[in-house]
Homo-oligomer: A and B are copies of this chain.
Amino acid sequence: MHSPALEGNLAQPVIRRLDALRQLSERGIALLQRAILEGLQRAGQGEDLANEGDPVDSVRIILSGWLCRFKTLEDGRRQITSFILPGDACDACVYLLSVMDHSIGTLTPVIYADIKRPVFERLLAADQSLAQAFWCETMVNSAIQREWTVNIGRRIALERVAHLLCEIHERLRPVGMIDGDSCAFPVTQIDLADATGLSVVHVNRTLQELRASRLITLRDRTLTIMDLRGLQNIALFTADYLHTKRCG
């Protein structure tokens, strides 16, 4: 962990992700890498990194592990509004709002960089390509959020779950977390239900159906997509909204 080589590797997902959005300058990469290494933090599984109402004064960049953003209604109903994957920033710029309007919880142990607001702002000011990449990422997150609205609003359960799986698969690819047609999937059916707006029972039914159709395998926190094209068809999935190709 404290050897330079390993630390260099740690920042890889972030750099790959940002560079895929906007080509980063050598200098930008170096600056980012240093800022990351100076802010290294860890969190265990099932921790809340932030809660609704908390003041925001830093940006978090996820190096490894999964998290989710969620909101809870007074009576306990919970909705996951997005998954945060390795390489993602926890909204480069929510700090503009000064108070969290949602919570962020970990689904696995997590390694992340906590970059204080002034440091982050200096970073953006110092390198234009970094600034643009981070804004780009923010915009892509908005696009994803819109697609979730569509997903939950207009797709039926089967399509809905399939769509979510497609999206995650597609997002994990550029950061190199797909192994063949499999990937880690540390999401319980409870989480899946909270993310899709369904009940746990119905998520279970739906997964059974996807399995029966020989589209996926999901066991021991590992997802295997046996028929990607088929899954995408069911989901009415197109990856356009992820803006994977370099934008702008």
Contact A197 B243 (CB under 8 A): no
Residue in B closest to A236 when the chains form the complex, CB atoms: B73
Which of A78, A150, A248 has the most chain B CB atoms inside 10 A of its CB? A150
A4 to B190: give the CA distance in the assembly, Å. Answer: 59
Given contacts A139-B94, A243-B97, contact A149 B149 (CB under 8 A): yes
- Provided the pairs A149-B148, A150-B79 are in contact, do residues A139 and B74 lie with their beta carbons within 8 angstroms? no
Contact (Cβ within 8 A) B241 A101: yes
**B197 and A247 contacting across the interface, CB-CB below 8 Å:** no
- Identify the A interface with B (CB < 8 A): 52-53, 69, 71, 73-75, 77-79, 81-82, 91, 93-99, 101-102, 132, 135-136, 138-143, 145-150, 152-155, 194, 196-197, 236, 240-241, 243, 247-248
Name the residue among A94, A153, A248 with the largest chain B CB count within 10 angstroms. Answer: A153
Chain B contacts of A194 at CB under 8 A? 153
What residues of B have a CB within 8 angstroms of the CB of A135 in the complex? 93, 96
